[in-house]
Amino acid sequence: MKIGQYININLAVTTLVGLIALMLSLRVLAATPVLLNGAGSTFVEPIYTKWFTEYQKIDSEVTVNYQGIGSGGGIRQLIQGTIDFGASDAPMTAEEEKSAKLPVIHLPMVMGAVVISYNLKVDKPIKLTGPLVADIFSGKITKWNDAKIAKVNAAMKLPDLAIVVATRSDGSGTTAVFSDYLAKVSPEWQGKAGKNVDWFKGSLGAKGNAGVTGLIQQTEGAVGYVELIYALENKLPYALIQNKKGEFIDASSRSVTAAAGGKVVDEMVKHQFKISITDSDAKGAYPISSFSWMLVFDGMDKDKGSKLLKLARWTMSDKAQALASDINYAQLPKALREKVLSQIDKVKTH
């Protein structure tokens, strides 16, 4: 019996050692996986998630963990060094860049837009000019049949209805893009743009695109600004906005991509891609368009850095950009993508 017991123990130990050896050898056989952590903009979360799953098929060693905690939160975590890359719908301020340990490189990834949605019983989209939008969102134009609105929409019969302005109450990139546009088209708005804006007394604030949309749908005569993708997915009506060339433009992925065309490309390169493209003077451009940036450090460690930059290169490919337009994001124009690629090549790792 004692011998039997001994054999049993021996067997168990051998099996255990064998299993451990097997596991160790499996680990050696598989190449070391790289985990990249990123956080930031909620706007890009759907496409980032899609990209990162797709990219695993190309390079199975790379796993990306992305959390959409908001652009501000992403920048905060990047500065603290808890993540490998950030994502933001607004470029970092000079002060923020200074507090980061390493120089930060801005890489535009996709484009988006903000639309002016409304609740009005009209049969075709209403037209608005930049100054009109600014006046409505400052509480200066209070009725839909105001002479200034009627002048632009001559063929339309506008109701005698009070304008109820709905804004985002939570700090957001959408607000940043929209107020940046207001600052460009109206002198009064200069210096007042940001992720949180002091809206006029009597306007309403709601949380998220969904909150603003809910408000608009609830209230006849309401007007508010929401993200283009959200408006498209929920089939909301939105206004045609007059651009710098004088054309009234319907927001679409085409007209948004157009906003980054022409002279903008050279401007972008000159400013290391950190410029806003609202109120673009390109032909056919939708004026409230914006970039979303990936934020990476110049001088990351080699293991992670080289993988991340390779991934960033891939997002500039036709295939990756097509994935983005599948879910209503606007692609970066080809000319700009070339410039982004050469920027990526300049980023150092060690």
Partner 1 sequence: MKRREVRWSDLLFFNSLRALALLIILVFISIFVFLYISSAETFNTIGWKFFILQDWSTNGGRFGALAFIYGTVLSSLIAILLATPVSVGSALFLTEIGPRVLRRPVQMLIELLAAIPSVVYGLWAIFVLAPFVKDHIQPVLRGMTPGLELFQGPPFGLGLFTSGLVLAIMITPTITAICVEVFRSIPLIYREGAKALGATTWETIRLAVLGPGLAGIFSAVILGLGRAMGETMAVTMVIGNRADISASLFSPAATMSSVIANEYGEASAGLHLSSLSAIGLTLLLVSMVVNGFARVVIWRVTRGAR
* Binding footprint of partner 1 on the chain (CB under 8 A): 69-73, 75-76, 96, 164, 169-173, 191-199, 201-207, 211, 214-215, 218-219
Q: What is the nearest approach in angstroms of partner 1 to the Cβ of residue 120?
A: 17
CB of 195 or CB of 304, closer to partner 1: 195
CB of 192 or CB of 339, closer to partner 1: 192
The alpha carbon of 65 is separated from its chain's Cα centroid by a whole number of angstroms, namely 17
Q: What is the nearest approach in angstroms of partner 1 to the Cβ of residue 280?
A: 24
Question: In a 3-state reduction of DSSP, which class is residue 223?
Answer: strand
Name all contacts of 227-232 with Cβ < 8 Å and 24+ positions apart.
227/43, 227/112, 227/113, 227/114, 227/115, 227/174, 228/112, 228/113, 228/114, 228/115, 228/256, 228/328, 228/330, 229/43, 229/112, 229/327, 229/328, 229/329, 231/115, 231/117, 232/328
Q: What is the nearest approach in angstroms of partner 1 to the Cβ of residue 272?
A: 20
Q: Which residues contact 144 (CB under 8 A, 6 or more apart)?
A: 120, 158, 159, 160, 161, 162, 163, 221
Name the helix (H) or strand (E) containing 295.
Answer: strand 289-297
CB of 73 or CB of 261, closer to partner 1: 73
Q: Which residues contact 28 (CB under 8 A, 6 or more apart)?
A: none
Q: What is the nearest approach in angstroms of partner 1 to the Cβ of residue 194?
A: 6
CB of 172 or CB of 292, closer to partner 1: 172
What is the C-alpha separation between 201 and 158, in angstroms, rounded? Answer: 25
CB of 194 or CB of 299, closer to partner 1: 194
Q: What is the nearest approach in angstroms of partner 1 to the Cβ of residue 47?
A: 20
CB of 63 or CB of 219, closer to partner 1: 219
**Closest by Cα among 240, 275, 209 to 43:** 209
CB of 70 or CB of 287, closer to partner 1: 70
CB of 65 or CB of 218, closer to partner 1: 218
Q: What is the nearest approach in angstroms of partner 1 to the Cβ of residue 117?
A: 16
Q: What is the nearest approach in angstroms of partner 1 to the Cβ of residue 179?
A: 9
Q: What is the nearest approach in angstroms of partner 1 to the Cβ of residue 50?
A: 23
Separation in Å, CA 60 to CA 26, 56, 332:
16, 5, 26
**Closest by Cα among 64, 65, 61, 66 to 33:** 61
Q: By the 8 A CB rule, do 34 and 304 touch?
A: yes
